[in-house]
Chains A and B, each alone.
Chain A
Amino acid sequence: MALVEIRDVHKSFQRDTQKIDVFTGLDIDFAEGSFTALMGPSGSGKSTLLNLVAGLDRPTQGTIAVAGSPVSAMRASELAPWRAQHVGFVFQSYNLLPVLTASQNVELPLLLAPLSKKDRQERVKLALDIVGLGDRADHFPRQLSGGQEQRVSIARAIVADPTLILLDEPTGQLDGKSSQEVLALLQRLNAEFKKTIIMVTHDAHAAEKAKTTLHLEKGDLIEKRPSGAMAAL
């Protein structure tokens, strides 16, 4: 069953007088519980697709639905609370707030939910334990390594128990060992916690950890295949 349904999506940008078409009638489904790597050269529309699915941007034409919610038709005031509840977002450069501790950063999405302080603290602790940073709760981002920062960022993405986790180049700034740890964590989230994951990456090794890899080029889906490791299973 498709969790994310993208139907006949067009997206174009206006740059000065020039109109740039990113998508011209894109159709993709992302199944519930899938772990998909989105690959493609720069400018192929990977991040734009992620933004559209997260409701951060709107298609020029077409529809996008996530778990039955018509994301592309929602008003801005509806999208923010929807995102807080249903989407976890992980950035390439972590984007933790430097003035907050790891636990405070993870707690941010929960501030928007009607939870007591005790409930929030329990969930934060659980999320940090899942990413293996329970003992770093009171550390500020500057006191953490890049890999640890990204794991805190993932904890922030999962703490509200979202339906969908979107990652934009999550290993782009990490060394090999940290990348492996983060990818292993994502696999665990997908396998153990049944999270649907869409990950934009340039890294073929990272893509191999996903169940499915989609190749985009100039806004068109040119290939969809099972990822290497998964295909071998």
Chain B
Amino acid sequence: MRFLPLVLANLRRHKWRSVLTTLSVALALFLFASLRSVVTTLDANSRFGAANRMIVQNATGIVFPLPMSYAARLQATPGVEAVTWANWFGGRYGDGKRFFANFAVDPESYLRMYPEMVIPEDQKQAFIRERTAAVVGKRLLEVFGWRVGQDVTLQGTIFPGDWTFTIRGVYTPSNRSIGDDAMMFHYDYLYERFQNRVTPGWFVLRIADPGRSATVAKTIDDGFRNSSDPTKTGTERAFQAGFMTMWGNVRLLMGTIGTAVVFAILMVTGNAMMMSARERTGEVAVLKTIGFTDRTLFVLVMIEAALIAGTGAFMGLGGARALYGLADTNVLGFLPGFHVSDGTLVFGSGIAVLLAVASGVVPAWRAARLPVVQALRKVE
């Protein structure tokens, strides 16, 4: 502690250089935390899927629909307890700047399938009864300032035209796999206006025994193998995990960018520390003359590097955690539960420690090994 004023004074020597170096570390670790959180949130969400739910999608890809007639055959499959279906609507609201997911669903069977969507009973019944009714997530209601009973008009993109729905219910998810900023409305309403073009986008099954999911999946896919629309069936968890692949190799991309950012900042910080140490060659010689040991000088330079990296880490990692926590970020509805995990904070702190060591060790070593007589000759 007694050396702290000396360390702080050295950091104040070139105030703006210290501030900018610290900010660059903060920005790098903020970006690192943000990028890694995309991966960890996707990973976490993929683990949240219920073990007893399965998704049946077109084998060609999720964007290709399946015939409605499949519902009855799926229901008849051994081991399947319940079936529901949904269709991606892709409507926009207002200026369209705030994206949110909106689906056409079969209300009764869908809500039975997803008990995690908690809706007051009276609102649930109102939604089921009225063909143009919709339920929305709690956050969506808050974001747009909607209220129950209000008419909301979406502009269709896949299904053109203005679509007006009456909000009859608000759901609150009981786990993080269900985002709280989606809208669901009646599949029948969509079907009425686009009979020739609407079939389910995917089916959701509830199975009796999660341990037999592989058998159920094989039975279903084998049954539709020679049809015009072969299916691909998997557990909801696998579906969620597969959703990640729609983003491309997110892990590699995020990892590469994150590493590049951290490496670049290592260069910047290292360069700043080297410049700072080089400028102080004479002062280091003076301190040695006064009686500072090589070890003390090594530690002092390392503390400087640690303060820069530590302050940057606190600002960057803490800032990311606070920002995403306070803003309740959801990344356009694709990443419900987006947050900076404790693991990311630990990982980021580890990077900060490495950054401090890597940027400080060379100037610290040089300060410690500085031949005092030659250095004094230069300053005298």
Contacts and interface: CB of A to CB of B under 8 A. Distances in A.
Candidate in B10, B293, B379 with the most chain A CB atoms within 10 angstroms: B293
A155 to B, nearest CB: 13
A22 B353 CA distance: 48
User: What's the dominant secondary structure at chain B's contact region?
Assistant: helix
A81 B376 contact: no
B51 interface: no
Interface in B207-265: none
Given A56-B373, A56-B376, A95-B379, A109 B286 contact: no
A76 B295 CA distance: 11
A47 B293 CA distance: 22
B292 A80 contact: yes
A156 B290 contact: yes
Contact of B289 (A76, A77, A89, A100): A89
Contacts of B296: 112
A225 B346 CA distance: 70
A111 B292 CA distance: 9
Interface residues of A, number: 32
A54 interface: yes
A97 B292 contact: no
B160 interface: no
Interface in A99-143: 99-100, 104, 108-109, 111-112, 117
A92 interface: yes
B5 interface: yes
Contacts, number: 74
Given A51-B373, A99-B12, A104-B5, A83 B291 contact: yes
Contacts of A109: 290-291
Given A95-B283, A104-B9, A56 B379 contact: no
Contacts of A92: 380
Interface in A62-98: 76-77, 80-85, 87, 89, 91-93, 95, 97-98
Given A93-B380, A95-B379, A85 B291 contact: yes
Interface in B1-26: 2-3, 5-6, 9-10, 12-13
B163 to A, nearest CB: 67
Interface string B299-322: 000000000000000000000000
In the complex, the 6 A-B pairs of residues with the closest C-beta atoms, listed nearest first: A84-B291, A99-B9, A80-B293, A83-B291, A95-B286, A99-B13
Given A51-B373, A83-B291, A100-B9, 9 more contacts: A77-B295, A80-B294, A89-B290, A93-B380, A97-B283, A98-B13, A99-B12, A108-B287, A109-B291
